[in-house]
Each structure stands twice: as structure tokens, then as C-alpha cells.
Amino acid sequence: LRWKPFEIPKAPQKKTDFVSGLYTLCGAGEPRGRNGIAVHIYVCNTSMIDRCLYNSDGDFLIVPQQGKLLITTEFGKMLVEPNEICVIQQGMRFSVEVFGETRGYILEVYGAHFELPDLGPIGANGLANPRDFLVPVAWYEDRQVPGGYTVISKYQGKLFAAQQDFSPFNVVAWHGNYTPYKYHLEKFMVINAVAFDHADPSIFTVLTAKTTRAGVALADFVIFPPRWGVANNTFRPPYYHRNCMSEFMGLIKGHYEAKEEGFQPGGGSLHSMMTPHGPDADCFEKASKAKLEPERVADGTMAFMFESSLSLAVTKWGLQTSNRLDKNYYKCWEPLKSHFNP
């Protein structure tokens, strides 16, 4: 499945804040059992005024695509722009201020927290380094709200609201390591094949949420950043494959190397487990004939993937209500021809 860029409501005709513009695209499992994930899209044009949200179900990994977010939390403020990500962990109250038409993606996990992947033979340093993750500086407001402050809880997949007469962001100071945090994707130290062959995309893992099975991720957040391509005797784009993982892809900016047409910033695609997929016909022809010299790959772009060991079901909003499903996606592979010559 592939989706065209998700539409952002126009202000002032339809004022929409972060919570009212939050839509679930697909997911698996459920929060009551503390095992599962969900992929959400947010589209908004208005800041949350005297409203905050906390997620009782799990953690949010937020990927802005258009428009920056000024996120106020009980720990302080974070300004998160496209090409950055942030994680709001379970139970943390937050409010989102926007500065115009805003869009992005969210990966939610139940029952696990995001952490850095095990580096194995890479060693002590590489991929996303701990030093590059930023946490808020303490900030507070001692503010009464006579008209009522709305606290929204996402609980068992539904939203519940309560009123209070003061701002919840009244935490003067904090200590500890259970915090919200952000990370700039340009800080990622890329590992890649420098001799031959095409390495698995796991080498691009920024954060992972583990299962109880060793080596099996509930969800991985993977990026495809600018890098050098130098492999010899190799078809350099992502190879054709089937996979025991579900792959949701989004695009922050630019184009994706395997599908330069049709896959647009603000859109998405889902390749379900064991469904064959790979580069479109144009990419195959170009890469098959390209002279294998050192070349820059993905400059000016940033694609990413939410990958999960669970089988994802698509919501009615994703299939119908959003009206963004690209029903011609399959046609990008129709021109592929067999070049086998025994």
C-alpha cells in the first residue's frame, strides 16, 4: 500500500490542533496486553491552548515532516524541527505549539521503551551516539487557569478528558533518567558496505524497542541518510525481497532512491510481511546500467522506516476515510522485464 501526502486542514476554516489532528493509520496488538505498536499521522494548523496530552498506553516517537513543534513537557520545552525526532515516554504530559501548517508521523509502542540498538562488532561508537541525544532544561509555569485546563489521557486506545484550574507544567526541577528527548538525524554515523553487496537496513537503526525474544524487535526506527555508495559488482539500490518484518516507510524530504516518483514527502507506504517489494522499474533500469563509481546517495533527502515483527492491520481511516490511498501503486513494477540469459 502507498499513500499520497496526507492533507493538512486549512486554517481558519478548520482549526485543528495536535490531538484533534491525530489519526491512526495501522497497528498490531493492543495496549491492555502491553504488547503492540501503532503508526499515527498528525496534521494540524493550531497550537494546543490550555490543553495537554499524556499517553497511558505507551511511548510516542514523533517524526516531524512539515513545520516545527514547540513541545512543552513537565521536564521543560523542546523545539523539534523536520529532520529531528523526539520521544515522549509513557505518562509524560505534553502540549504542542505549532507555527503554521504542520504534518508528521508517530510510532507508538506498548510495553517496551525505545533504546539504542546493540552495536555488536561495530564496537563502542557508531550509528546514533548517546552524546547526541538532548533532554529539556527544567522550565515551569505557576499559572492559574480559571476557565479550565483540559488534561487528555490516551488510555486503552481512547481519549479521556478532565478539567483542572491550573497548568500541569508546574514542575520546578527534576532529576533522573526517565525523560523526553530529541535527536537530530544528521548526527547519525552511517555504516555501509565499502567493498561489495548491499547490507541489511538494520545498519541504519536509530532506535529500537525490543521484545522478550533475543534479536527480535517489537519496532525499529530506521533512516536512509545521505551517504557514499561504493560497492563493486553490486546492484546498489535496495534489493528485491520478502521479509518477516512489516515495513512502514515515510519521507521527510527529497525523494527515496528506490522510488523517485510517486513516493512523496508527507506520504507513506506499507509493505506487509512476506509481500515482495523493491525498486520500481525506472530505478532498476538505471541502476543496472550505471557505471559503478563512488557516488553520493540520498543527498538532500531523508526517508525513514518503522519496522516491526508484528503483522500490521490498516485502519478504516487509512484505507478509506483519509482518501489518500494510491490505488495505482502496483503499476510501478508492471514494466519490469526479465533479463535472465542462461
Output the pLDDT for position 258.
66
Please, what is the average pLDDT of the chain?
Answer: 96
In the block, cell 532529576 appears at 175
* Phi then psi dihedrals of residue 263, to 5 deg: -90, 105
For residue 184, name the pLDDT band (cuts at 50, 70, 90). Answer: very high
Q: Is the confidence at residue 339, as pLDDT, over 90?
A: no
Assigned superfamily of 2-326 = Jelly Rolls (2.60.120.10)
Q: What pTM value is reported for the model?
A: 0.96
247 is known to lie in a ligand binding site: yes
Task: For 263-322, write each residue's pLDDT tens digit.
Answer: 999 999 999 999 999 999 999 999 999 999 999 999 999 999 999 999 999 999 999 999
Whole-angstrom Cα distance, residue 109 to residue 209?
7
Task: For 29-72, write each residue's pLDDT tens digit.
Answer: 999 999 999 999 999 999 999 999 999 999 999 999 999 999 99
DSSP β-ladder status, 227-229 and 295-297: antiparallel
Task: For 243-252, write each residue's pLDDT tens digit.
Answer: 999 999 999 9
For residue 11, name the pLDDT band (cuts at 50, 70, 90). Answer: confident
Output the pLDDT for position 83.
98
DSSP secondary structure string, 163-201?
EEEE-S-------SS---EEEEGGG-B----SSBS---G
- Which residues neighbour 142 within 8 Å (Cβ) at sequence distance 6 or greater? 167, 170
**Among all residues, which ones are annotated catalytic?**
198
Output the pLDDT for position 277.
94
Q: Is 62 helix (H, G, I), strand (E, B) or coil?
A: strand
277 is known to lie in a ligand binding site: yes
- Which residues neighbour 83 within 8 Å (Cβ) at sequence distance 6 or greater? 184, 185, 186, 252, 253, 302
3-state class percentages of the chain: helix first, strand second, coil last, to nearest 5: 10, 40, 50
Output the pLDDT for position 163.
98
Output the pLDDT for position 257.
75
Produce one character per residue of 284-293: b if its CB has 16 or more CB atoms within 10 Å, e if not: beebeeeeee
241 is known to lie in a ligand binding site: yes
Can you read off the three cell numbers belonging to residue 171?
514542575
